[in-house]
C-alpha cells in the first residue's frame, strides 16, 4: 500500500504549502511509503505553457463576444506563445539573464496589469526585482484572461474560492462539479498521469488549507474514487468549516475527513484501510463521527519535501510590501517551534480547536537537526516558522543552538508583541538569522485589547516592535477592525496609533482584516460578554464563519476602503506627519506623541549572558572587543579585564549557561566600574537573555 499526499489547486506559486510535507516526514519516520504531488503547481505550469495557452486561445477564437483585454491578447497570440516559456524559466531562476530584456525590450505583450505597472517601484538599480515584478504581472494578466473567458473562479492563488467561503449549501459546489471546463480537464488529466505512473498508490490524502482549494480537492477526490482509490481529506478548511458537516453529496468525493493533527487520523485511516481495527481517531465518514482514541497526538517539527520538484516553483514578486514579499519571494522551508499557541486566549481566534489549544513545544536539538537536513536536501537556508505565535523562550533556545553550530540561516515568522521581546533578545535573534516578524496589533486600543484578552497594551506592542527594529529585524503588523463593540471613534484612533508607529519607524508594513466571527472562537463561546447576537445558522454546509449582530459597535461596512489608502501611503513613507482625518468621521482623540512617549529605555532583565561578538584581544592596558560594528576598546584594571575576558569566553553560544547574577558576584571591582564595563561590552555584543 502506498499513499499519495496531494496539494490541490491553488495555494502559492513560490513554495509548496507545508501540510503534505509535514505528513511526509511523519510517514517516512515510520517507514511508511508515500509520495507527494503538488497538482496546484502542475496546473499552473500547464496554463503557463505554449500548449496550455494554445488551448485557451483556440477556445477564444470561436467566441463572438470577449472583453477588450481578451481581444488584445488574442491578437498577440503568437507573442504570448513565444514569451510564456522564457518567463516561466526566468521566474524559476533558470535564466536570470532575461531580466534586462524583460525590462528594456518589447518581449512581453502588455495586459492591463503590466500597463499599470510602476517602473520605479523598486528603484533604478533593482534590475532583478523589477524584472521579476514585471514577469509576475505578466502571468497575472494571463490568469485574468483565463478567468474572464474560459474559467471564472480561477485566480493566481485560489480556485473557485467563492463556492467555499461561508458556503451555506453544498448545492453550488455540486452544480459546478457537474460541469467540466478546460481547466477542470487539465486537472483531471494531471491526476490520471500521476496515478498511471504510480500504480501502487491506493490511498489519496488531500490537504485543503483554504476555501480556494476545496473545489479542486473534491474534483480530484471524486476522480480518484472512480479509479478505485480510498480518499481522505484534511487541512485547515476541513478542521474549521466541516466539523459538523452532514452533506450526503460530500461522500461521492471522499471516504473520510480528518480532524485536528493530520498525522494521527491519517495513520489510523491507513491501518483501517489495510484491515486493521475500527476507525476511531478524529475522523468523519459517511457513517458519522469517529471519536479520538486515547493515543497521544503527534507533533512533527519540520517539513520534508521528498520527491517534490522544488526547482519548478516560481519566484514571483507581486508586492513591494516587505511581509507580502516574503510570502511570495523565494522558497522557504517550513519548521514549527511548537504545536498550538502558548497564549491561546485571544477571543477572535479558534482557541477551542486542537491546533490552537494544545500547546506542545518541539525539542530544539531535534529541530536543528531537521534544519540541517533540510538545508542539505533543498539547498535553501531560509526557514518560515509556521507557529501560531513563536514562543520567546523557544526562539531564544533555537537561536542559541543555531549559533552554537555556526549554522547560517534566515528565519521569519509570527510573534506576539509582548514584554519578553527585549532589545537584547531581539539582538540575539537577529544574530541567529531572524529577518522579519509579523504580529497582531489588532485593534490598537487598550480597552478592546483587554476585552479580547490579547495580553498586550499599545505601549508594550510599540516597545516590542522598537526592540526588533533596533536589532535590524523588519516588523509587519496584523490589524483588525469591526471587533464587537468597537466604536467609530476607536477605529479612527486605532488608525492614528498605526500612523504614529510608522512615523516612529516601528513598522515596515501592515495589513487590515475585518473581524469574522468563527464557531470555535471565544466570542462565539460567550457572546453575551461581547454584546453580539447570533442568528440561527442550522443546515449550513460550511459552519465556521458565522453572521453576527453587533448592536453597540460601529457599522464596519462604513470603513470598507477607508483604512487601506492611508496605510499604503505610510508604507511608502508619505503623509506620516499628518494626524489621521477620515471623511465624515470624528477626529482622532489620541495624543499625537503617545507612541513617542512609550519608547522609554527599559532595564534589561534576561538571566543568561551571551556573547555575540568575535575575538577578545589584549592591548596595552585595554581589551579590544570585536563586534559587528568594528573594534571596541575597553579600559580597566588588570583584574577587571581578566574577569571580562573570562566572562565573554564563558558566555559564547554553545557553552554552559552563564547567569548574570553569578558573573556579577565574581566581579573584582566596584559597582561604578562594573556598570561602565558592562555598558561597553553590551555595545560590542554582550546580551542578557
Contact 42, 76 (CB under 8 A): no
Is it the case that residue 319 has pLDDT exceeding 80? no
Categorize the per-residue pLDDT at 125 as very low, low, confident or very high, splitting at 50, 70 and 90.
low
State how far the Cα of 455 lies from the Cα of 616, in Å rounded to an integer. 41
Is it the case that residue 42 has pLDDT exceeding 60? yes
Is it the case that residue 290 has pLDDT exceeding 60? yes
pLDDT at residue 331, rounded to an integer: 86
Of 115-129, 249-263, 389-403, which range is least confident? 115-129
Residue 94 CB-half CA count within 13 A? 11
Q: What's the average model confidence in pLDDT over 216-230?
A: 98
Phi/psi region, residue 235 (left: phi>0; alpha: psi -120 to 50; beta: rest), is left
pLDDT at residue 280, rounded to an integer: 66
Is it the case that residue 497 has pLDDT exceeding 90? yes
Is it the case that residue 295 has pLDDT exceeding 60? no
Categorize the per-residue pLDDT at 520 as very low, low, confident or very high, splitting at 50, 70 and 90.
very high
pLDDT at residue 246, rounded to an integer: 87
Grid cell 554552559 in the structure block, residue: 656
pLDDT at residue 120, rounded to an integer: 72
List, in order, residues 6 or more apart from 298 with CB less than 8 Å away. Answer: 26, 261, 263, 264, 267
Categorize the per-residue pLDDT at 104 as very low, low, confident or very high, splitting at 50, 70 and 90.
confident
Is it the case that residue 291 has pLDDT exceeding 80? no
| C-alpha dist (Å) from residue 294 to 262, 264, 338, 365 | 16, 11, 21, 28
pLDDT at residue 293, rounded to an integer: 58
DSSP string, 286-327: TTEEE---SPPPP---B---TT--GGGS------S-HHHHHH
Residue 590 CB-half CA count within 13 A? 28
pLDDT tens track for 20-30: 999 999 999 99
pLDDT at residue 98, rounded to an integer: 94
pLDDT at residue 297, rounded to an integer: 65
| C-alpha dist (Å) from residue 489 to 448, 548, 585 | 12, 21, 8
Q: Running DSSP on this structure, what letter comes out for residue 30?
A: T
Of 177-181, 218-222, 634-638, which range is least confident? 634-638
State how far the Cα of 455 lies from the Cα of 130, in Å rounded to an integer. 41
Of 222-226, 484-488, 676-680, which range is least confident? 676-680
Categorize the per-residue pLDDT at 477 as very low, low, confident or very high, splitting at 50, 70 and 90.
very high
Is it the case that residue 329 has pLDDT exceeding 90? no
Closest CA to 218 of 228, 230, 206: 206
Is it the case that residue 298 has pLDDT exceeding 60? yes
Q: What's the average model confidence in pLDDT over 557-573?
A: 93
Is it the case that residue 144 has pLDDT exceeding 60? yes
Write down the pTM of the prediction. 0.93
Per the structure block, which three cell numbers stand in for 552?
453597540
Q: What's the average model confidence in pLDDT over 6-16?
A: 93
Q: Residues of the chain with pLDDT > 90: what percent?
A: 79
| C-alpha dist (Å) from residue 373 to 24, 206, 265, 321, 602 | 14, 26, 27, 31, 39
pLDDT at residue 296, rounded to an integer: 61
pLDDT at residue 166, rounded to an integer: 82
Q: What's the average model confidence in pLDDT over 148-165?
A: 93
- Selected residue with higher pLDDT from 605 and 90: 90
State how far the Cα of 622 lies from the Cα of 649, in Å rounded to an integer. 16
Categorize the per-residue pLDDT at 670 as very low, low, confident or very high, splitting at 50, 70 and 90.
very high
Of 80-89, 461-470, 510-519, 541-550, which range is least confident? 541-550
Per the structure block, which three cell numbers stand in for 261?
493533527
pLDDT tens track for 368-395: 999 999 999 999 999 999 999 999 999 9
pLDDT at residue 62, rounded to an integer: 84
Q: What are the residues facing 506 on neighbouring strands? A: none
Q: How far apart are the first and last CA of the chain?
A: 50
Of 164-178, 321-335, 401-415, which range is least confident? 321-335
pLDDT at residue 124, rounded to an integer: 64
Is it the case that residue 666 has pLDDT exceeding 60? yes
pLDDT tens track for 568-626: 999 989 999 999 999 999 999 999 999 999 998 877 788 999 999 998 988 888 899 98
Mean pLDDT of the chain, nearest integer: 92
Amino acid at each position: 500500500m502506498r499513499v499519495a499526499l496531494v496539494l490541490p489547486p491553488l495555494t502559492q506559486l513560490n513554495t509548496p504549502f507545508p501540510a503534505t510535507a509535514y505528513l511526509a516526514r511523519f510517514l517516512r519516520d515510520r517507514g511508511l511509503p508515500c509520495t507527494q504531488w503538488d497538482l496546484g503547481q502542475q496546473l499552473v505550469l500547464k496554463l503557463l505553457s505554449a500548449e496550455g495557452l494554445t488551448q485557451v486561445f483556440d477556445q477564444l477564437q470561436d467566441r463572438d463576444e470577449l472583453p477588450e483585454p481578451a481581444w488584445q491578447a488574442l491578437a498577440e497570440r503568437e507573442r504570448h506563445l513565444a514569451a510564456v516559456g522564457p518567463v516561466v524559466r526566468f521566474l524559476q531562476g533558470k535564466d536570470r539573464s532575461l531580466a534586462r530584456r524583460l525590462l528594456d525590450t518589447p518581449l512581453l505583450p502588455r495586459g492591463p496589469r503590466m500597463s499599470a505597472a510602476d517602473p520605479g517601484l523598486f528603484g533604478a538599480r533593482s534590475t532583478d526585482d523589477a524584472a521579476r515584478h514585471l514577469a509576475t504581472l505578466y502571468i497575472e494578466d494571463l490568469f485574468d484572461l483565463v478567468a474572464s473567458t474560459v474559467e471564472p473562479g480561477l485566480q493566481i492563488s485560489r480556485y473557485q474560492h467563492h463556492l467555499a467561503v461561508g458556503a451555506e449549501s453544498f448545492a453550488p459546489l455540486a452544480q459546478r462539479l457537474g460541469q467540466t471546463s478546460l481547466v477542470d480537464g487539465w486537472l483531471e488529466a494531471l491526476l490520471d498521469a500521476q496515478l498511471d505512473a504510480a500504480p501502487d498508490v491506493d490511498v489519496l490524502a488531500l490537504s485543503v488549507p483554504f476555501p480556494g482549494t476545496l473545489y479542486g480537492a473534491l474534483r480530484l477526490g471524486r476522480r480518484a474514487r472512480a479509479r478505485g482509490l480510498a480518499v481522505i481529506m484534511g487541512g485547515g478548511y476541513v478542521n474549521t468549516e466541516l466539523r459538523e458537516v452532514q452533506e450526503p453529496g460530500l461522500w461521492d468525493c471522499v471516504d473520510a475527513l480528518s480532524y485536528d493533527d493530520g498525522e494521527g487520523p491519517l495513520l489510523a485511516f491507513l491501518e483501517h484501510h489495510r484491515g486493521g481495527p475500527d476507525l476511531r481517531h478524529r475522523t468523519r465518514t459517511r457513517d458519522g463521527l469517529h471519536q479520538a482514541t486515547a493515543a497521544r497526538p503527534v507533533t512533527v517539527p519540520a517539513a520534508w519535501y521528498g520527491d517534490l520538484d522544488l526547482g519548478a516553483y516560481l519566484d514571483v514578486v507581486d508586492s513591494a510590501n516587505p511581509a507580502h514579499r516574503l510570502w511570495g519571494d523565494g522558497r522557504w522551508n517550513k519548521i514549527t517551534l511548537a504545536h498550538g499557541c502558548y497564549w491561546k486566549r485571544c477571543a477572535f481566534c479558534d482557541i477551542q480547536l486542537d491546533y490552537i489549544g494544545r500547546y506542545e513545544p518541539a525539542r530544539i536539538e531535534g529541530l536543528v537537526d531537521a534544519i540541517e537536513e533540510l538545508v542539505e536536501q533543498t539547498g535553501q537556508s531560509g526557514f518560515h516558522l509556521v507557529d501560531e505565535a513563536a514562543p520567546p523562550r523557544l526562539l531564544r533556545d533555537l537561536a542559541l543552538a543555531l549559533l552554537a553550530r555556526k549554522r547560517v540561516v534566515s528565519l521569519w515568522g509570527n510573534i506576539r508583541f509582548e514584554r519578553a521581546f527585549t532589545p537584547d533578545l531581539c539582538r540575539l535573534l537577529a544574530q541567529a538569522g531572524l529577518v522579519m516578524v509579523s504580529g497582531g496589533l489588532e485593534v490598537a486600543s487598550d480597552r478592546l485589547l483587554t476585552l479580547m484578552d490579547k495580553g498586550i497594551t499599545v505601549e508594550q506592542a510599540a516597545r516590542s516592535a522598537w526592540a526588533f527594529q533596533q536589532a535590524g529585524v523588519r516588523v509587519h503588523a496584523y490589524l483588525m477592525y469591526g471587533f464587537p463593540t468597537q466604536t467609530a471613534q476607536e477605529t479612527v484612533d486605532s488608525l492614528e496609533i498605526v500612523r504614529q508607529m510608522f512615523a516612529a519607524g516601528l513598522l515596515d508594513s501592515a495589513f487590515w482584516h475585518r473581524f469574522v466571527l468563527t464557531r470555535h472562537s471565544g466570542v462565539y463561546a460567550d457572546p453575551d460578554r461581547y454584546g453580539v447576537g447570533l442568528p440561527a445558522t442550522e443546515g449550513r454546509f460550511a459552519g465556521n464563519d458565522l453572521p453576527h449582530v453587533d448592536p453597540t459597535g460601529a457599522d464596519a461596512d462604513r470603513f470598507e476602503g477607508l483604512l487601506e489608502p492611508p496605510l499604503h501611503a505610510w508604507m511608502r513613507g508619505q503623509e506620516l506627519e499628518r494626524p489621521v482625518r477620515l471623511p465624515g468621521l470624528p477626529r482622532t482623540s489620541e495624543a499625537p506623541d503617545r507612541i513617542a512617549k512609550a519608547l522609554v529605555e527599559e532595564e534589561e532583565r534576561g538571566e543568561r549572558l551571551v556573547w555575540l561578538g568575535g575575538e577578545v584581544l589584549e592591548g596595552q592596558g585595554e581589551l579590544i572587543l570585536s563586534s559587528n560594528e568594528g573594534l571596541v576598546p575597553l579600559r580597566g584594571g588588570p583584574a577587571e579585564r581578566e574577569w571580562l575576558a573570562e566572562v565573554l569566553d564563558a558566555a559564547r553560544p554553545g557553552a554552559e549557561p552563564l547567569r548574570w547574577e553569578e558573573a556579577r558576584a565574581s566581579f573584582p571591582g566596584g559597582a561604578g566600574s562594573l556598570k561602565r564595563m558592562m555598558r561597553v561590552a553590551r555595545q560590542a555584543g554582550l546580551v542578557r537573555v
